[in-house]
Structure formats: C-alpha cells, structure tokens
Amino acid sequence: MSDKLTQTFLAEANELIIDIERCLLDIGQGSNDRDDISAIFRSMHTLKGASGMFGFELVQRLTHHLENIYQDIRDGKRLMDADITELTFKTLDQLRILLNADATQTEPAGYNELLETVKAIGSENKAVQQITTSQLTALEKTYYVRFTPQADIIRNGNNPLYLVDDLVALGPAVVLPFFNQLPDLDQIDVENCYTGFEIILATDKNEDEIRTVFLFVEGNCELQITKLTNENSLKAFTNEKHPFITTDFNAPLGFESIKNTFDTRPAKSVHEPSKTATAKKANIRVGAEQLDELMNLVSELVTTQARLSLFANENLSTALSGISENIEKITRRLRDNAFTMSLVPLDSIRVRFQRLVSDLSKDLNKSVDFVTEGMETKIDKSIIEKLTDPILHILRNCIDHGIETPEVRSNHGKTPEGILSLRAFYSGSSVVIEISDDGAGINLQRIRNKAISRGLVSADTQLTDKELTDLIFLPGFSTASSVTDVSGRGVGMDVVRRNIADLRGEVEVSTTEGKGTRFTIRLPLTLSILDGLLVRIGTTDFILPLTSVVKCHEVPTTQLDNSFNHWLTLDGERTPFIYLREIFGISDSKPYYSQLINVPYDGNMVGLAVDQIIGEYQAVLKPLGNFYSAQDEFSGATILGDGSVALVMDPSRLISKLSSKPILN
C-alpha cells in the first residue's frame, strides 16, 4: 500500500483518537453520556476497520476488545465508570505509540498486559443482545435505507460493508442484502461490487446524520433514506417469517411493496439531496506541505505583483496600469484566501490541554474545573504547532504552584474546586490568549528573597511588581521548596518566553497573592504576512510592525541632535527615543525634518527616530537564517517591489537590547 495512503490513515487515526478523548472528557464534565458513548463507539469502530485494512494488526486487536466494552455500555449492559475511563485513556496512549512508531507487528512494552486487562473487562456480560420490537419502537425515529453501491466502489478504496457497519452503529437495525445486479458467473469481476442493502434502522439521529455515513461515497452509490412514521407496524420486520422476504434472493425487498404498510415521506436520492444537505459545504484534506508550498507561491506572487506595480508607475501606459491594477486585485484575493486556509482554530489542540488538566489534577490530588472560552479563535497553523508546549507548561505551573488542595482552599474560604481558565480572543491583528487560575497567586516577597540570594538583585534595589514577576522567566529561577515530577527545577518558564518571542509574541504575568495569577500571551495571526510601516533611514528601507505603531511625530532633526540624553517632550510628556541613524551607523546626509514613531515598551512609550515614513506596506516575511540568529532585533526580511531587501524590525527586542545602555537611561 502506498506511503501516501498510509500517511492519510495515520492522520485520520490520530483525529479519531482525539475525538474519543474529547468525548471522554465531556463525559467527565457531566455531558450527555449517551451521545458521547455512541460517538466513542463509532470512532473505535472506524479505527478498528481502517487499522486492519492498513496492516496495523496490533491497533486493530486492541481497539476490537475495547470496542466490546463500549458496545455493552451503549446497549445498557454496563455502566460507564471512572475505571473504564482511565482504562480507555491508557489504551489511547498505547494506540498513539503504535501509530506514531508505525508499529504493525512489534509489540511495545506494556501492550500485552493492557490487552489482557481490556479483554478481561470486555469478557464480562458477553451475552449478545437480540433486536426486539420494543427496542425498535422505543427509539424516537425509524428509517428505511436503501443503499446500492456502484460496481467500482471497491476500486475507489471504499468497502460497502464498513459503511453498513457504521450505519448499524447508529442504532438497532435489520439488514437485508439483494443481488439484482449480479451477472452470470463467467462475467463476474472479483473487484466489482454487485450487492445492495436494505436496512431498517431505529435511531435517535436525524436524516442528515445518517446521510453523513455515506458522505465520501456520494458519487459511487444510489441512496434512499425514508422516515417510517407508523412505528407500530415495525413488528412486521421482527417476525421470524419476514412478510417481504421471498425465495428470490436476486430481488430487493422493494420499497414500493412496503410503503402501503407505512405512512412515509417521499424517498430522497443522493442525487437529489435535501436542502439542508445541499447547504453544507464539502471539506477536503490537504497536506501541510502542500499548504506551505501554496503560501510560498503566493508570497512570490505578491512580490512579483509589487514589482509590476512599480514598473507600471514608471512607464505611463494606460493599458499596463489597467493590467497591473487587475493583477493586484486578484493577487490580494488569492493571498487572503491562502492566508485563511492556513488558519487553524485553537479548538484543535484543546483536547491536549483538557487531558493534561485531568491527569495532573488526579496525580496532585487537586480538584480543578478547566474552563475554555473562544476556542473558535483561529491562528496560523505554524504558530499552533509551536504554541502547544508553552501553554502546556503554563497550565502545569498553574495546577502545581497556583491552585491549592481542596483542604487548603476550604480553610481560606474558597470552593474546594479550583478554576483554571483558558480564554482566547482577537485584538486588532493579534490573538490574545489568557490563562488564569484562582489559586494562591505568586508570593512576590519570596521571589525577591530568591533573587537576592542568587545575586540577581541587590538588597536595596527597589523593583516594581512587574519587574518581580518577570524574574520567573529567568533561566533556572524557581521558588519551589522541593523538586517534583511536575516542576521545581527552574526549567521551563524561560523556554516559554523564548518560544513565544520566536513567534513574534509577548507574554506577561499579573498576580494577586491569595486570589490567583493570569498569564497573557499576545501573538500575531500569522508568521508569513505582516502589516507594516515602511520607513527609510538614509537610502536604506526598514519595516516596523503596524501593530507596534502608536503615533508618529514630525520633529526638526536638530532637536534630536541637541536633545539631552535622548529625551524629548512630545504632547506634554517626556519621552525617551532611539536615534536609529546612530544605532545602525548610517552616515548619509540628514533630512531637515525627522519622523519620531512612538511604540509601546514595558508600559511606557519609546520613540524610534527615522528619516522618512514611506507608508503602509504588507510584507511577506522571510526568515534571516541561522547565520543571523544573533540579530534578534530583526524578525525577518521582505523583498520590496523594486527587488531590494528591507529588514523587519522587532521594536520590543530592539529596545530591550539597548535598554541597558546609556541611550535609554
């Protein structure tokens, strides 16, 4: 089997595992158990069938026995409890090992022990439940489904039996095959499908959910779904002698002969879908590498379009200007579409956070209510991939250091259950992620004492609350009295800040002792496209992120040259500034007027002095490479319309690097 198909299976398998985890966590939070159990069973059933098809026998074997347990739960033979939940989580972890290691035959450590445990639980109450009339009529709706696959459905990688299995997983059913398309024996092609199916299905699902089972074979089958509204007549389908079964096995049941027995709605063909089904948009899976290539091509197109616009302005041709404007419109639309495609909702990684909180709170004997808000907020997929670990570490610290045990919380007049929240929202062209807890907060005096003992600050140094909380991001800094499996070594928070800074983001901490702590992460929507302000110093162009620009002032250059210790009074306030001409060593002739651009830093305003502001510019950001990794005051570079390169400044890092020098003191 091709590597491409296997990679597709692995991606889908991991998504199924995430879906199962999400349902388990929802059950733990008191959601509708029945719907979640049914969803878990369907995901396991799909994973079992697909893993067997792709040769992952160990995955298939383990999933099969776990599926038996959830079959009993779904049929009411067993109650869902904490032991089964814990066993399921352990099984999912083992499945991830099997899938990520591409293990089809080699049994990893602990596999056999886990398999025997799952078998032992699954073997209890193993009696097979028979479909009865009371079961069929107890459910809200009953449907007649006629599924006729086209002959080439198997050639296209779909197994009709799996689809019937998925359909039966929605509720009790009677399935009868028919063979009216079967040719003579000498004309049979073993790769063709000649079997159709008629199903009577009792389920609480609606028609659109039933139709979803056949979503990926709509072009390879004929499908009829009809709701049967006279429930009392269902006994005809459960008698030992079915009134519609004949000895002619080549003939279908024939819905025409049944419809007189039932009050029905008109049958709907897959070629004539309902309005609801028509309104739904189809989704396709695209590889990450293909999306990256698309973004690279769009970046090249944006650069080429900028050059075309410049050429059109230099050559006064009406026809050329028209073409240039049209290309610019198309490029902008294509760029916006490609950019939207690269955005991923934070909900895609929410399950990992929920799982961490659930496992860690149990290990530490703490009761934690994890609340999420704004998980539909989307951010660039390349940022999502690098953001997961920093958030996981912050959550870990909140549970270990912040939230107290139920006994301690009760003694302080708090509810025994701590609240840990993760909130995301848009702020301009940025995304803000807030992680907060209602725990003990950060003891600032303890941080100060630790900093003094390590020689980081002197005993007579006065530090603000923000300066004290910023100390936790220093390498090796920790106030924990002992080292645990979770934290206490002083390793992590410095990595959190560095990783977020690598994403052109910032992280801040605010705390109130005894009430809790809040971590605020501010990130750009994307790393590939930047809304910037194009500025010029001498003959060299630079770009400042537009999100960092607060206000621009025009001042005589002589004021900059004659200022005392690089301070100016702007709008009635004393403001420090950085003369970028001096910093970058540019010695070209100075203009009569200079531009001072105010940017925020550490709660204050700092001016960046440049010669000229060209205007807004949407830059396609390119990394500088490892050779320039030490020049972190520049976050990248972009190619301008004339083919020249402009460096993209990171104001916060630039000011931070210069803040220890006399220029800002």
pLDDT in tens, 153-186: 888 777 888 888 888 888 888 888 888 888 888 8
What is the full DSSP assignment across 289-320? HHHHHHHHHHHHHHHHHHHHHHHHHHTT-HHH
The Cβ of residue 79 has, within 10 Å, a number of other Cβ atoms equal to: 9
**β-pair type (221-228, 573-579):** unpaired
The per-residue pLDDT for 139 is: 43
Distance in angstroms (rounded) separating the CA atoms of residues 394 and 365: 19
Over the stretch 535-587, which tens digit does the pLDDT of each residue have?
999 999 999 988 889 999 999 999 988 888 889 888 888 889 999 998 888 88
Measured from the Cβ of residue 656, the count of other Cβ atoms closer than 10 Å reads: 16
CA 140 from centroid of its chain's CA atoms: 35
- Please check whether residue 517 is in contact with residue 402, taking contact to mean a CB–CB distance below 8 angstroms: yes
Which are the contacts of 590, defined by CB distance < 8 A and separation ≥ 6?
557, 581, 611
Q: 10 Å Cβ neighbour count for 42?
A: 22
Q: How many CB atoms lie within 10 A of CB 234?
A: 20
pLDDT of residue 635: 81
The phi, psi pair for 648, rounded to 5°, reads -100, 115
The strand ranges marked E within 140-294 are 141-149, 173-178, 196-203, 221-228, 268-269
Residue type, 428: G
Under 8 Å between Cβ of 557 and 591: yes
Q: Which residues, including other chains, have CB under 8 Å from residue 192's CB and lie 6 or more apart?
A: 151, 152, 154, 155
Helix, strand or coil for residue 531?
strand
In whole angstroms, how far apart are CA 461 and each of 6, 511, 661?
A: 61, 21, 19
- All residue ranges of the chain with pLDDT < 50 are 1, 30-32, 126-139, 231-280, 488-491, 661-665
Determine the Cα–Cα distance for residues 177 and 320; give it in Å rounded to an integer: 66
pTM tops 0.75, yes or no = no
Query: Quick one: tokens of 290?
Result: 């293909």
CA-based nearest residue to 71, from 2, 215, 169: 169
The answer to whether the CB of 398 falls within 8 A of the CB of 486 is no
**Which residues face 421 on adjacent strands?**
371, 436
Residues 304, 310, 311, 312, CA torsion sign: positive
Please state, as a whole number, how many other Cβ atoms lie within 10 Å of the Cβ of residue 634: 16
The predicted structure's pLDDT at residue 607: 92
Amino acid at 217: V
Q: What is the pLDDT of residue 436?
A: 94
Residues near 435 by Cβ (< 8 Å), separated by ≥ 6?
391, 394, 395, 398, 420, 421, 422, 423, 518, 519, 521
